[in-house]
Amino acid sequence: MSCVTFLRPSSQASSMASFRVATPSLLFCLFFFSPPSFLATRPFGSDSSKVSLVLYYESLCPYSANFIVNYLVKLFEDDLISIVDLKLVPWGNAKILGNDTFKCQHGPYECLLNTVEACAIHVLPKVDEHFPFIYCVESLVYQHKYAQWESCFEKLGLDSKPISDCYSSGFGKELELQYAAETNDLQPPHEYVPWVVVDGQPLYEEYQDFISYICKAYKGTKVLKACSELFLDAMQKGGGNKHFYPVSYKEEDVILSLSAQMQQMKMAASM
């Protein structure tokens, strides 16, 4: 089982050909959603005090899809995106096998979609151009309809050829290997996905509260409704309780965790 709910310790195919990859099992949770419109998407401003936000994720992880579809999209409301430099890194818990081949946690189709999304980011470099496509694909993942991902081209009025050429030429694979290096070089190392980093600091299981961290990190003068509302809400609630959110762990971490639990059970039984 590759996707688990875990509380962090207090210390802390489509028509395109797929890569050579191994195929672990895929576990999804059932979700329902109503996608918003991107008609109101606004372009980036030039504010030098923008906050850096990086999402390290994998395309078929249900928790990553949930975060993109129901949380990250909020950046495009109330002009929050104007104070944020958003970067998406579709690699997650994938592994390099050697000879520049790799396997993905949720199987070959995840490798395909990770690479397609990497190509979309390259072909459509502005975030307000590539995010709608990635949102569309991830919304289909969210509905367990990810095999229909190519319908996103028609829905968004996009020419499929540049992204298809990027994938089929092997350049998408090169992009993924670059994302692999970036993900593997993270300090501290990523422990699971989605892994959200604000101004270089990982948010761990508080990733769904990323907007509050953005508002705290922002040093500019722009007044944003979302930040004002968060401040007032925090004042009224007096801080509230800490929440823990579901994440998708690397397979070896799950195995180690289960092994530790079994050892504890054996020790308890021997007493």
Dist CA 263 CA 155 (whole Å)? 52
**In terms of Cα–Cα distance, which of 103, 95, 107, 92 is closest to 25?**
107
Q: What is the largest CA-CA distance in the chain?
A: 66
Which of 41-55, 170-184, 244-258 ranks highest by mean pLDDT?
A: 170-184
Q: Which class would CATH give 51-216?
A: alpha beta
Q: Which helix (H) or strand (E) holds 156?
A: helix 151-156
Identify the pLDDT of residue 182. 98
- Helix (H/G/I), strand (E/B), else coil: 187: coil
Query: Can you give the residue ranges of every domain in the chain?
Result: 51-216
- Residue with the bigger pLDDT between 14 and 72: it is 72
3-state SS of 6-25? CCCCCCCCCCCCCCCCCCCC
Is it the case that residue 31 has pLDDT exceeding 90?
no
Q: Which residues pair with 101 in a beta bridge?
A: 98
Identify the pLDDT of residue 250. 62
Is it the case that residue 240 has pLDDT exceeding 60?
no
Is it the case that residue 96 has pLDDT exceeding 90?
yes
Dist CA 251 CA 231 (whole Å)? 38
Identify the pLDDT of residue 263. 53
Strand blocks (E) in 69-170: 84-90, 95-98, 101-103
Identify the pLDDT of residue 237. 66
Whether the CB-CB separation of 87 and 52 falls below 8 Å is answered with yes
Is it the case that residue 269 has pLDDT exceeding 80?
no
Is it the case that residue 14 has pLDDT exceeding 90?
no
Confidence class for position 257, pLDDT limits 50, 70, 90: very low
Model's pTM, two decimal places? 0.75
Q: What percent of the chain has pLDDT over 70?
A: 68
Is it the case that residue 222 has pLDDT exceeding 60?
yes
- Residue with the bigger pLDDT between 243 and 140: it is 140
Pairing of strands 201-202, 84-90: unpaired
Pairing of strands 84-90, 51-57: parallel
Residues written for the chain:
271
How far are the Cα atoms of 45, 113, 115, 152, 172 from residue 167, in angstroms, in the given order? 31, 10, 7, 16, 5
Identify the pLDDT of residue 79. 84
Across 232-257, average pLDDT: 57
